């Protein structure tokens, strides 16, 4: 999980990786006072240093939407400028919630004798050998519910181990 300082560094790195056409001696800076914090992370706004210092609209940079940094996975999401910043924040928040809720990990078929599958089931679902044998008699079955990203990682581990598994909407 990222701290505010780590998130700020990621936003700055993203901002610097896309040079802007600014007058000589000017640069884009984070507008610290405008930073928004949410449960899932932060929204960073930036603008021209000269505009920030002088308020002169001639120095106001164009085409600079806010950057969203997810505290849980460290991802940085550029937004746009066609709409107000809150529009992009709400859109991200809606998508984030959709991906956090209502996802199921469905196990279709397994080889209960497979060491690789048993290891994943033990590590991720805390199932012992007897539990795996019992689970095998009930397949296909929902074995976990949660955030899409987490279930997708576990599903990939199961697939790699040779199980039949999928993530689907509840």
Summarize pLDDT for 57-87 with one digit per residue, the tens: 877 776 678 999 999 889 999 998 888 888 9
Whether 85 and 126 map to the same domain: the answer is no
Q: State residue 7 phi and psi, 5-degree precision.
A: -65, -45
pLDDT of 56 over the 90 cut: no
Whether 116 and 32 map to the same domain: the answer is no
* Domains identified in the chain, total number: 2
Q: Are 99 and 149 in contact (CB under 8 A)?
A: yes
Q: Collect all residues with Cβ–Cβ distance below 8 Å to 130 and sequence separation of at least 6.
A: none
Whether pTM > 0.75 for this model: the answer is no
The residue segments making up the domain with residue 145 are 101-169
Whether 165 and 106 map to the same domain: the answer is yes
What's the pLDDT score for residue 63? 62
Tell me the CATH number at 123.
3.30.1390.10
Whether 21 and 86 map to the same domain: the answer is yes
Q: Are 120 and 113 in contact (CB under 8 A)?
A: no
CA distance 165 to 156: 8
What's the pLDDT score for residue 101? 78
What's the pLDDT score for residue 83? 87
> Could you count the other beta carbons within 10 Å of the beta carbon of residue 73?
11
Whether 93 and 105 map to the same domain: the answer is no
Question: What is the arithmetic mean of pLDDT over 106-127?
Answer: 91
pLDDT of 33 over the 80 cut: yes
> Could you count the other beta carbons within 10 Å of the beta carbon of residue 94?
10
CA distance 36 to 70: 12
Residue at a domain's end among 99, 118, 138: 99
What's the pLDDT score for residue 94? 86
Residue at a domain's end among 65, 99, 133: 99
Whether 94 and 107 map to the same domain: the answer is no
pLDDT of 99 over the 70 cut: yes
What's the pLDDT score for residue 19? 67
């Amino acid at each position: 999980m990222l701290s505010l300082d780590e998130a700020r560094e990621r936003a700055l790195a993203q901002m610097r990786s896309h040079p802007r056409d600014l007058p000589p001696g000017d640069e884009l800076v984070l507008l610290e006072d405008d930073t928004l914090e949410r449960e899932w992370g932060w929204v960073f706004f930036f603008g021209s240093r000269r505009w920030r210092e002088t308020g002169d609209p001639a120095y106001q940079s164009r085409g600079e939407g806010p950057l969203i940094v997810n505290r849980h996975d460290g991802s940085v999401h550029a937004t746009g400028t066609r709409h107000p910043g809150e529009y992009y924040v709400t859109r991200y928040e809606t998508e984030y919630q959709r991906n956090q809720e209502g996802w199921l990990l469905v196990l279709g078929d397994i080889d209960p004798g497979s060491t690789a599958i048993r290891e994943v089931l033990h590590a991720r679902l805390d199932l012992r050998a007897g539990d795996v044998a019992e689970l095998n008699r009930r397949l296909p079955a929902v074995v976990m519910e949660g955030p899409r990203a987490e279930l997708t990682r576990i599903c990939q581990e199961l697939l790699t181990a040779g199980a039949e598994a999928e993530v689907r909407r509840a």
